Amino acid sequence: MPTATPAPAAQPEEKLTKKDLTGDHPTWCPGCGDFAVLAAFYKVLEKLQIPHEKIVTMAGIGCSSRFPYFVNSHGLHFIHGRALPLATGISLSRPDLHVFVFGGDGDGFSIGGNHLDHAARKNVNLTYVIMDNFVYGLTKKQTSPTSPIGFKSKTDPAGSVDRPINPMKKLISGGATFVARTHAAQVKHMMEMFERAIRHPGFSVVETLSECVVFYKGAFDDGNPRKGGVFEEIEEKKWDSTPEDDKRHDVTDEQNAYALADLRYPGKFGVFYEVDEIPTKNHLEQQLAEQAQKKTEGAGAVDLLKKRFSLMK
């Protein structure tokens, strides 16, 4: 059985408000998509009322990875690409905490790409928001692993030649147990995805298309109705035995999730994949500890060490 995310406190002493959660003033460029992600995160935390001191936000390096400074909570700004293993250490040693990781496409899919697969397959209990802008923002416009072929960057002045990765497919095949995709210009949808991700027991990821207005302006207009694009949501099965339901997406259907992930850009938005019955690593490790301590009848460190050393005589 998966361990549920620790339940939000039923009766918090004082209501946690956006004001409490507001940290430093963001240093992002005016118009950067990341502002909307931050605003949505505040709102979801306000709704869930997680005890303030139990919230931990952390990130690697990048524009998006400056996120922890802008949230007034326990936080950590780590090194490029390693936020997930760091978060793994926090989550596994402190199951009482709510662990949130934020970062960019370079941080998550390139330098941290291997960690993503392993945190996913281990189903570490945490929530990860990848703010994907298809470019390296902080280092000023180099090709990212999600840049489309032909994207002209400083490292690809003639247009990018390498095929971009498919984030949804990578995450699902990696073993993530909650995989969703949203758009920073669709605040309501983004909030819904964040909330479901947080409530999911285990490793939950939301890829959020978040525009870099300086180095890749207009990248996500095709998915933004206000810019003439189409924001098409995945219709999830309602299990209502209607003929329409046959066409809807079963979030536990991996094959269909891959099919959705293969749709032409801008594709669809929503929950691609979600399974609840896979145990979290947190739960499995806790079980190991409980079983071991049952065997030793909860002996303390001094007694355990004495016993072990007596076998070396």
Ligand X SMILES: Cc1ncc(C[n+]2csc(CCOP(=O)(O)OP(=O)(O)O)c2C)c(N)n1
Q: Could you list the residues that contact another protein (CB under 8 A)?
A: 20, 23, 52-54, 56, 68-69, 72-79, 81-82, 85-94, 96-97, 114-115, 117-118, 285, 288-289, 291-293, 295-296, 299, 301-302, 304-306, 308-309, 311-313
- Interface with ligand X, residue 147, by CB under 6 A: no
- Interface with ligand X, residue 145, by CB under 6 A: no
- Which CB atom, from 196 or from 283, has the smaller least distance to another protein? 283
- Which CB atom, from 66 or from 249, has the smaller least distance to another protein? 66
Q: Which does 199 bind (CB under 5 to 8 A by kind): another protein, ligand X, ligand SF4, none?
A: none
Q: Per CB under 6 A, which of residues 8..47 are in contact with ligand X?
A: none
Judge contact between 80 and 60, C-beta under 8 A.
yes
- Interface with ligand SF4, residue 267, by CB under 6 A: no
Which residue from 63, 3, 61 is spatially nearest to 33, judged by alpha carbons? 63
The least CB distance from residue 104 to ligand SF4, in Å, is: 8
| Buried/exposed code over 66-85 (b: 16+ C-beta within 10 A; e: otherwise) | bbbbbbbbebeebebbebbb
Size of the chain, expressed as the number of residues it contains: 313
CA dihedral 3, 22, 120, 90 (to 10 degrees): -70
Long-range CB pairs of 146-152 (<8 Å, 24+ gap) are 146/105, 146/109, 148/265, 151/216
- Interface residue with ligand X, options 80, 115, 183, 200 (CB under 6 A): 80
- Interface residue with ligand X, options 57, 125, 133, 280 (CB under 6 A): 133
C-alpha to C-alpha distance for 250 and 238, rounded to whole angstroms = 9
C-alpha to C-alpha distance for 103 and 81, rounded to whole angstroms = 9
The residues near 13 (Cβ < 8 Å, ≥ 6 apart) are none
- Interface with ligand SF4, residue 34, by CB under 6 A: yes
The least CB distance from residue 130 to ligand X, in Å, is: 9
- Interface with Mg ion, residue 104, by CB under 5 A: yes
